[in-house]
Amino acid sequence: MKNLTKNIFWTVITLILVTVFFSYFFSASSETENLSLNELAQRIQEGEVASIVINGNDLEIELAGGEGAVAKKEFEAGLSETLKNYGVSAEQLSSVDISVEEQSGARFFAGILIPTLLPLIILILFFWLIFRNAKGGANQVMNFGKSSIRMAGNSKDKRTTFEDVAGLIEEKQELLEIVDFLKEPAKFIKMGAKIPRGVLLMGAPGSGKTLLARAVAGESGVPFFHVSASEFVEMFVGVGASRIRDAFTTAKRSAPAILFIDEIDAVGRQRGAGMGGGHDEREQTLNQILVEMDGFDRESKVIVLAATNRPDILDQALLRPGRFDRRVFIDLPDVKEREAILKLHAKNKPMEEGVDFRRISARTPGFSGADLENLLNEAAIFATRHGKTTVSQQDIFDSVEKVMLGPEKKGRIITDKEKEITAFHEAGHALVATSLKDADPVHKVSIVSRGRAGGYTLNLPSEENRLRSKSQFKAMLAVMMGGYVAEELTFNDITTGASNDLEKATELSRKIVTKFGMSKLGPISLGENSESIFLGRDMASGRDHSEKVAGEVDSEVSSFLKEAYKLAKNIITKRKKALEAIAEILMEKEVLEQEDFDAVMKSFRYKPLPVG
């Protein structure tokens, strides 16, 4: 559609230009003097005419003075004859240089053909352009069955290697085997070893699956074909399957090679699942993948890499040996890996001296590799916009919050009362967090509003611990209650600012009861299956337990919440002085970094308390 408007635009412009050109051309010629025949005869008699060019019935006259003029002669009659009739003598005529020009010259075109043909030509051109567009569409339809398979550039300078992947040591080790095979396939085949046909990379979005696949290709130096499974999902049944066939054929032709199918869950979902009946297209596409992978013979040197962030919904048939029999789990990076990733991506940015990547990585639990890359990018943008030439630690810290919570809303007008409430609320969270032995330490307290949050307290685990204990959960719940309790104790009132805390606390305590088996109900995992339809599993839905158990769950959830509330209230009542001190400084400074906060708390010499 955009092309069409563009074409019409150009057609109109051309038309206007042609019109302007010709009107200029014709008006230029009409400026010369137009003589009648007897005027011409008279001029000749007076010896004022130097030459005449006859072109059909048109006469182009050059006067003695050098100016030009035009005239028309009688139809079908000779010029000399005519002039004689007007009384020009043979002598006078002989002093004029008369020549005859073929009428088929440029003038003929300009005079007759162009005015008649031009509109026609423009019209034809116009339709041709439209049809060309339409044909483009038709060609696309013809290409439907072809996969848009891309071959990654294997140019030496730009290729991705394992060096570009920070951390992920074990994962790289696993993939090295494949690289070795692709480098020397004969060695393995001679030993009768079966080489994995497929390797499935599984992990959270942004954890580096695509990157790792590219690195495998770069290391092995074989052609790397890259398709995204979502490209196989089309409106028309059979198209996806045909594209798969095409992709595999292309890869086999240049074996040894790697065929990388990204986001394979788009087609690899469990068959026969989901709502609304048959997903014929997807199933056919999946079947085709299975067929192609089975079709590889022992000698075939094509390895299929696939990536997904939803291994749980993949069809079992994809996972059985002989297909994607190797699986590589890629976890979100831990504190050391995050540091390595940060250092890697900081290489091409001018960093200020002494940026402590360890501290940044400690502040970014749960960030994926892609998040960390984005974080540094944000920091670089921030530094540039503030006219700096290097990126500082503080720039990165500020960006962490921006990435997690959204941009600062410094402009938002809040009343003094609101500011006071927010300060006490956040001081409540922070106070409970530092007071409890099992709570994560406070890294920052702020009452500058960001995104949806009015203020926030950043308390993060000091070391990466994958396991959490019941007392840690209890401490977390109490910290979440801290804001609510502080408002209640200080103002004798509660605002809506605590609603998000309550939501999170309720969610957490429900998990404690139903998933972690930490309640009176004992060791049991209870589920709500409402999600499973969308996972592509069965239609089964609803609770998997009785009304009675559901009631017990609810009462356990609320008892955890009440306990946390009591704990928070206890701490804040006893340590009211500290609460006031923190809130006071917050209202003044708006942001408290870890050191400032610790300095305030130190003066009170409180001892850490247990949760129970």
Fill in the per-residue mask, 281 to 320: x = in contact with ligand ADP (CB under 6 A), - = not in contact. Answer: --------------------------x-------------
Nearest Cα neighbor of 174 from 369, 370, 330, 339 is 330
Fill in the per-residue mask, 157 to 176: x = in contact with ligand ADP (CB under 6 A), - = not in contact. Answer: --------xxxx--------
Fill in the per-residue mask, 192 to 231: x = in contact with Mg ion (CB under 5 A), - = not in contact. Answer: ------------------x---------------------
Nearer to Zn ion, 49 or 427 (CB): 427
The least CB distance from residue 370 to ligand ADP, in Å, is: 4
Residues 337-376 that bind ligand ADP (CB under 6 A): 341, 344, 369-370, 373
Distance from first CA to last CA of the chain, Å, rounded?
A: 69
Nearer to Mg ion, 79 or 303 (CB): 303
Q: Closest residue to ligand ADP, Cβ-based?
A: 369
**Residue 483 contacts Zn ion per CB under 5 A:** yes
Binding partner of 454, given Mg ion, ligand ADP, Zn ion, none, CB within 5-8 angstroms per partner class: none
Cα 509 from Cα 328, distance rounded (Å) = 33
Point out the catalytic residue in the list 339, 426, 487, 488. 426
In 3-state terms the chain splits into helix, strand, coil percentages (rounded to 5) of: 55, 15, 35
With CB under 6 A as the contact rule, which of the stretches 205-213, 439-447, 526-534, 587-595 interacts with ligand ADP? Answer: 205-213
259: three-class secondary structure by DSSP: strand
Which residues lie below 8 Å from residue 247, measured CB to CB, with a gap of 6+? 147, 149, 225, 227, 259, 261
The least CB distance from residue 519 to Zn ion, in Å, is: 25
Classify burial at 522, counting beta carbons within 10 Å of its beta carbon; exposed 0-12, middle 13-18, buried 19 or more.
Answer: exposed
Strands 257-262 and 302-308: parallel
Cα 572 from Cα 432, distance rounded (Å) = 7
The H-or-E segment that residue 19 falls in is helix 2-30
Give 303-355 as a DSSP string: EEEEEES-GGGB-HHHHSTTSS-EEEEEPPP-HHHHHHHHHHHHTTS-BPTT-
Nearer to Zn ion, 167 or 482 (CB): 482
The least CB distance from residue 226 to ligand ADP, in Å, is: 11
409: three-class secondary structure by DSSP: coil
# residues contacting ligand ADP (CB under 6 A): 18
Cα 271 from Cα 317, distance rounded (Å) = 10
**Residue 160 contacts Mg ion per CB under 5 A:** no
Cα 42 from Cα 84, distance rounded (Å) = 11
Q: Cα–Cα distances in Å, from 535 out to 272, 288, 310, 529?
A: 12, 22, 9, 10
Which residues lie below 8 Å from residue 257, measured CB to CB, with a gap of 6+? 222, 223, 224, 225, 251, 301, 302, 303
State which of residues 162, 178, 200, 206 lies at the interface with ligand ADP (CB under 6 A): 206
State which of residues 207, 228, 250, 490 lies at the interface with ligand ADP (CB under 6 A): 207
Cα 367 from Cα 333, distance rounded (Å) = 7
Binding partner of 166, given Zn ion, Mg ion, ligand ADP, none, CB within 5-8 angstroms per partner class: ligand ADP
Active site residue 487: no
Classify burial at 99, counting beta carbons within 10 Å of its beta carbon; exposed 0-12, middle 13-18, buried 19 or more.
Answer: exposed
**Residue 205 contacts ligand ADP per CB under 6 A:** yes
Nearest Cα neighbor of 219 from 159, 158, 168, 174 is 159
The least CB distance from residue 547 to ligand ADP, in Å, is: 42
Residues 551-570 that bind ligand ADP (CB under 6 A): none
# residues contacting Zn ion (CB under 5 A): 2
Amino acid at 468: R
Binding partner of 205, given ligand ADP, Zn ion, Mg ion, none, CB within 5-8 angstroms per partner class: ligand ADP
The least CB distance from residue 234 to Mg ion, in Å, is: 21
Angle subtended by helix axes 369-385 and 335-346, to nearest 10: 50
**Residue 208 contacts ligand ADP per CB under 6 A:** yes
Supply 115's token pair.
Answer: 């005015």
Measured at the CA of 443, the angle between CA 439 and CA 445, to 5 degrees, comes to: 100
State which of residues 420, 488, 501, 556 lies at the interface with Zn ion (CB under 5 A): 501
**Residue 308 contacts Mg ion per CB under 5 A:** no
Binding partner of 58, given Mg ion, Zn ion, ligand ADP, none, CB within 5-8 angstroms per partner class: none
Binding partner of 168, given Mg ion, ligand ADP, Zn ion, none, CB within 5-8 angstroms per partner class: ligand ADP
Binding partner of 501, given Zn ion, Mg ion, ligand ADP, none, CB within 5-8 angstroms per partner class: Zn ion
Residues 280-339 that bind Zn ion (CB under 5 A): none
Nearer to ligand ADP, 59 or 307 (CB): 307
CB atoms within 10 A of CB 2: 7
Binding site residues, Mg ion, CB under 5 A: 210
Binding site residues, ligand ADP, CB under 6 A: 165-168, 203, 205-211, 307, 341, 344, 369-370, 373
Binding site residues, Zn ion, CB under 5 A: 483, 501
Q: Kindly list the catalytic residues.
A: 426
